[in-house]
């Protein structure tokens, strides 16, 4: 007890002896005076302890903490992981706005669609393929939930027209044309290549030497081209149908590139009549439109929301200043 406290206490004792009348006021005075030190102590800043992240690995007597792994994990799959998290939050909010719930049956439907993407592949092998692409148990669940949410959000917009169904039939079961291509960066170069081909140069050899397309090492060989498949630009689809077998086109301007197309064989015939595969084709056309609308919906949600990144490692990997 400090000197002030001792004096206060002595005064109280003396007062008690002399008179009880003044006891209560003096007790109050004593309380105020003796609390000065207490209040001072109460307002002194307490020392803060440096919080450490959780231990995830013990190597002998040494520890590896989550923060030790964070920069490497961000570099490994940070962009994909943060995109998954952002999309999950955006869709959660959107579902609340429109009072839509994703059920377990919705998730199971998405799982069946995922497995159906490769029906000829064993499920164990397919699971290994997903893991190899970084889609483990957690990310698979997020993916299935995200697809289910998007599919329910765009359900009212799906309208599969007869034209879309007919186009899908042509893509899946219609004729395709075996083809090779040479892609050049300029008109002059494409004209030079075209002249060499006209002089009798081998298309495969020229493709390997001059083409900038990923197909160049294979001599320009690409997957057979369907005239109905929009993955190929319309001028190429038109050219492939008008060429004779083993004939090549003039240079075709596509974006900022020039393409020469060779029809390398006869077209494949129709595999099935439409009536035999109508149900399958309608399903495929519906799924294709859903995928398109789902992609548009997610992009729209991203555009409507401002995202700020604060983590320095994430900023570094994304390659932008925030």
Residue 314: count other Cβ atoms within 10 Å of its Cβ: 18
pLDDT at 18: 45
Residue predicted with more confidence, 318 or 204: 204
* Contacts of 123 by beta carbon, 8 Å cutoff, 6+ apart: 115
Does residue 57 sit within a domain? no
Instruction: Give a yes or no: residue 51 inside a domain.
Output: no
- pTM for the full model? 0.69
In a domain, 12, yes or no: yes
Does some domain include residue 211? yes
Say if 311 falls within a structural domain: no
Q: What are phi and psi of 167, to 5 degrees?
A: -65, -40
Task: Give dist(CA 33, CA 27) in Å, integer.
Answer: 10
What the block records as the tokens of 199 is 């002089």
pLDDT in tens, 170-217: 999 999 999 999 999 999 999 999 999 999 999 999 999 999 999 999
Neighbouring C-beta atoms of residue 153, cutoff 10 Å? 20
Pairing status of strand 55-59 against strand 62-65 = antiparallel
| Structural domain count of the chain | 2
Give the CATH number, domain containing residue 226: 3.10.50.40
C-beta of residue 314 within 8 angstroms of C-beta of residue 71 = no
Residue 181 CA to residue 207 CA, distance in Å, equals 7
Q: What's the domain range around 221?
A: 175-263
Does residue 303 form part of some domain? no
pLDDT in tens, 15-51: 444 444 444 443 334 444 444 444 444 555 555 555 7
Residue 261's beta-bridge partner residues? 181
User: Rounded to whole angstroms, how far apart are CA atoms 67 and 73?
Assistant: 10
Give the span between the Cα atoms of 150 and 294, in whole angstroms.
Answer: 5
Residue 125 lies in a domain: no
**Residue 237 lies inside a defined structural domain of this protein:** yes
């Amino acid at each position: 007890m400090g000197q002030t406290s001792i004096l206060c206490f002595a005064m109280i004792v003396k007062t008690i002896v002399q008179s009880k009348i003044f006891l209560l006021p003096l007790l109050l005075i004593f309380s105020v005076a003796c609390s000065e030190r207490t209040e001072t102590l109460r307002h002194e800043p307490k020392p803060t302890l440096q919080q450490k992240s959780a231990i995830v690995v013990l190597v002998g007597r040494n520890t590896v903490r989550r923060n030790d792994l964070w920069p490497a994990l961000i570099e490994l799959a940070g962009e994909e992981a943060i995109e998954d998290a952002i999309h999950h939050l955006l869709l959660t909010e959107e579902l609340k706005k429109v009072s839509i719930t994703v059920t377990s049956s919705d998730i199971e439907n998405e799982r069946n669609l995922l497995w159906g993407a490769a029906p000829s592949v064993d499920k164990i092998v397919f699971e290994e393929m997903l893991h190899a692409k970084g889609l483990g148990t957690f990310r698979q669940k997020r993916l299935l939930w995200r697809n289910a949410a998007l599919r329910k959000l765009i359900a009212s917009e799906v309208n599969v027209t007869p034209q879309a169904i007919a186009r899908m039939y042509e893509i899946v079961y219609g004729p395709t044309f075996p083809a090779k291509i040479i892609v050049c960066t300029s008109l002059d170069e494409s004209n030079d290549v075209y002249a060499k081909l006209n002089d009798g140069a081998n298309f495969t050899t020229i493709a390997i030497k001059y083409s900038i397309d990923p197909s160049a090492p294979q001599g320009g060989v690409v997957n057979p081209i369907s005239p109905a498949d929009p993955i190929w630009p319309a001028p190429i689809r038109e050219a492939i149908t008008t060429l004779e077998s083993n004939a090549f086109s003039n240079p075709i301007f596509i974006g900022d590139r020039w393409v020469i197309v060779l029809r390398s064989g006869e077209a494949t015939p129709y595999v099935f009549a439409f009536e035999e595969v109508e149900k399958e084709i309608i399903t495929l056309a519906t799924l294709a439109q859903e995928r398109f609308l789902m992609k548009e919906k997610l992009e729209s949600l991203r555009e409507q929301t401002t995202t700020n990144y604060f983590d320095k490692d994430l900023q570094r990997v994304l390659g932008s200043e925030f």
